[in-house]
Structure formats: C-alpha cells, structure tokens
Amino acid sequence: MKKVFTMLTVLLVMTHGLIAQDENTKVVLITLDGLRWQELFRGADSLLVTNTDYVSDTTNLKEQFWREDAGERREALFPFLWSHGAKTGQLHGNRTLGSKMNLSNTLWFSYPGYNEILSGAADDVRITSNDKTPNPNKTVLEIANSTTKYRDKVAAFASWDVFPYIINEVRSGVPVNAGFDLAEDNDLTEREKFLNQLQPKVPSPWATVRLDAFTHYYAMEYMKKNHPELVYIAYGETDDFAHDGDYAAYLKAAYNTDSLLAELWEGTQADPFYKDNTIFLITTDHGRGTQPLETWKRHGTFVTGAGEVWLIAFGKGVAAKGEVSVDEQWYSHQVVPTILKALHLKGGMEQMQGKPLDLTQD
C-alpha cells in the first residue's frame, strides 16, 4: 500500500508539472498615452525641465528629475522600467542607438494609434478622428474573446472615455471600464466599493479622462477576482498633462505610472494564476514633437516625430536583451500578431499588416 501511495504521489507531481507547462500564457498589454521616447530613454528634457513657460517650480522639478547623466536621468524618472524591465526584458525605440519603432498610420493621434495597436493594421480611411464612433475593425481583445478558449477571459481598463468605442464593447462583448465608469460586478470587493464612492468625489482636470489611479486599481481588483488571461490597461495622464503644457505634471505622471507598473507586476507575481506565466507588453499610441520646442505639447500628421513610438517587453519567454542597440525597424501593428502568437491563436491574422515581434531571439 505504501508503494502504491508513493507511486500515486509521483504521478500527481508529474501530472502537475505537465499541467503547469501547458497552462495558457497570460498577456497584459499596457499603453502610456503620448509618452515620448525621448523621456523614456533620456529622462527629463534639458530644454524643458527649467523652462518657465512650461514649469512653475523649476527648482523642485530639477531636484527630483535632473541628473547630468542621461542614464541616471531616465532611472530617476522610470526606476522600475530601468531596473526590472531593462534587466529581465527588452526596450525598443531608442533611435539614437538605431532601434526604431513607428506607427504605420499617418495621422499620429490617439484613436488611429490605438486602433493600430489593437487591431494590427492602420486604417487611415475609416479611423480619422477621436470621435466616439464604434471601431469597424476587430481588436485582438475581440478576436480572443470570440474563441472558446478565451471567451469571458478578456478585459480592458482605460482612463479615456473613448475606449468603449475603440474596442467596440457592444459588438465584441469585451467588458471595458473606461472614463468615469464604476465597477459593476455583482460581487464587488470592498476596494471596488470604495473606488466607486471615491471616483465621483475626486475632480479630474479633464472632462473625458479620469485620473490613472482609478483605472489602475479597478484593473488590479478585477484581475485578482476574475483572473482574465488577456488584459488591456490604458493610462492617459501623460498625454493630457502634455497638452496642457505642464511639463512638471507630465514628468510626475510618467514617474507615478512607473510606480503603478511596478505594483501591477508585483501583483501578478504574488498571484499563482499569473506568476511566471505572464507577458507584459508596454507601448504608446503616438509620439510628440521636439522642434520647434513648443511642439512637445502636440502630435498629429504635421508634427515632426509624432509617429515615433517605443515598446517594452518582459515576462514569460521574453529574452533579457535590455536596451536594444541594433539597427531595427518595428511597427505598432506588430503588437497584435505578437499577442496572438503568445496566446496560440491563429484566427484573425488575415487583417494583420505585420509579423509577430521576435521577443525571444538572443
């Protein structure tokens, strides 16, 4: 009897190991609206950090974010991404090193950028504004949710209230908590109840964009409770503070978002459902200008550099290449086929413009 018990134990351990190996890879796609590659790779801009046209308290801002060395500046601004991300994953888009990532759409503002990231193809004919028009294109969220494997295992959270239309929530069936939406589950957690009470009482500086902390904590609570396997989180503060011409708030929003990313990653690693089985893909919907200087506030077809973006990847199966310094040309439309490959989904590839990004090659 003892031998039989021992053999059963061994079989159970072996079976558990096989199941662990076959578990579905989880994907967390994240966007930081309008964050320039210049700040990501160089830190605070010397032409802006002490510029009183865009900063009211230059002394404190310089003390917090200015360092003579660009490497130290970017680490001061993005401590998590330049510690964990650079050490365990890879960062693409530092054009000074030859690594380039671009939008393939020619409009270079938000809805076209998000459509490209989420649908895998530019659509300069039908996606020409930020109007609340249901997206005619299927996003990777809809593609996954339409399969038996991932149905009801997909969710999206966003600060901008246009996302229910970008994702086409009605047609896709993907739950989208965006703008000033509240959590609506039947079994709300205590934190979700608190967020529902708090959000209406905390004024946002903008009519269509809520503060990112609400997006973040709604997402984290949902992930803990429902364990979706494909999650999209769209932070928005960096773009809106930039449009306001407030460089101090733009930098502080970037710094705060970095801390949210650290918390999100730590949360997945503390949850057995996600631990060591999750890929983080982080990118942006568009770039911003640099010259003339005031174009840092803007983007669009006629703003030089607004089509220049970047991508960070780390987690399961991602090679630890750090900051990529080889000549390469990647595009935002490659994000979708990359996700479909990670999820082992072949359907929906017919609309894609590009091939999956190779995140594993040494």
Mean pLDDT across 268-278:
98
Q: What's residue 16's pLDDT?
A: 36
In this structure, the number of other CB atoms found within 10 A of the CB of residue 72 comes to 13
Tell me how far apart the alpha carbons of residues 315 and 280 are, in angstroms, rounded to a whole number: 6
Sign of the Cα pseudo-torsion (73, 74, 78, 81, in order): negative
Beta bridge partners of 158: 178, 234
Could you read off the pLDDT of 124-183 as tens digits, one per residue? 999 999 999 999 999 999 999 999 999 999 999 999 999 999 999 999 999 999 999 999
**Residue 344, CA atoms < 13 Å, CB-side half-sphere:** 9
- 23 versus 135: the higher-pLDDT residue is 135
Share of the chain above pLDDT 70, in %: 92
Could you read off the pLDDT of 197-237 as tens digits, one per residue? 999 999 999 999 999 999 999 999 999 999 999 999 999 99
Sign of the Cα pseudo-torsion (118, 121, 123, 129, in order): positive
Mean pLDDT across 37-50:
98
Could you read off the pLDDT of 308-359 as tens digits, one per residue? 999 999 999 999 999 999 999 999 999 999 999 999 998 666 667 789 999 9
Q: What's residue 351's pLDDT?
A: 67
Q: What's residue 126's pLDDT?
A: 98
End-to-end CA distance of the chain: 50
- Calculate the average pLDDT of the chain: 93
For 26-351, CATH number? 3.40.720.10
Q: What's residue 353's pLDDT?
A: 76
User: 48 pLDDT band (50/70/90 cuts)?
Assistant: very high
Could you read off the pLDDT of 233-268 as tens digits, one per residue? 999 999 999 999 999 999 999 999 999 999 999 999
Q: What's residue 354's pLDDT?
A: 85
Identify which of 118, 123, 162, 158 has the alpha carbon closest to the alpha carbon of residue 140. 118
Beta bridge partners of 312: 91, 282
What is the distance, to the nearest Å, from the Cα of residue 290 to the centroid of all Cα atoms in its chain? 23
Residues counted in the chain: 362
What DSSP element (H or E) covers 2? helix 2-22
Cα R_g (the chain), whole angstroms? 21
Beta bridge partners of 323: 91
pLDDT value at 7 more than 50: no
Could you read off the pLDDT of 9-18 as tens digits, one per residue? 433 333 333 2
For residue 180 the two structure tokens come to 């000033």
Tell me how far apart the alpha carbons of residues 38 and 47 are, in angstroms, rounded to a whole number: 12
pLDDT value at 285 more than 70: yes
What is the distance, to the nearest Å, from the Cα of residue 335 to the centroid of all Cα atoms in its chain? 11
Q: What's residue 312's pLDDT?
A: 98
Q: What's residue 3's pLDDT?
A: 44
In this structure, the number of other CB atoms found within 10 A of the CB of residue 12 comes to 10
Q: What's residue 217's pLDDT?
A: 98
**Domain spans, the chain:** 26-351
Each as own residue / partner, the long-range contacts of residues 146-150 (CB below 8 Å, 24 or more positions apart, any chain) are: 146/172, 146/173, 146/347, 147/345, 147/347, 149/24, 149/343, 149/345, 150/229, 150/230, 150/343, 150/345
* Helix extents (H) in 227-304: 237-243, 247-269
**Residue 327, CA atoms < 13 Å, CB-side half-sphere:** 0
The amino acid occupying position 177 is N
Give yes or no for a cis peptide into 292 (omega within 30° of 0): yes
Specify the pTM.
0.93
Tell me how far apart the alpha carbons of residues 107 and 37 are, in angstroms, rounded to a whole number: 18
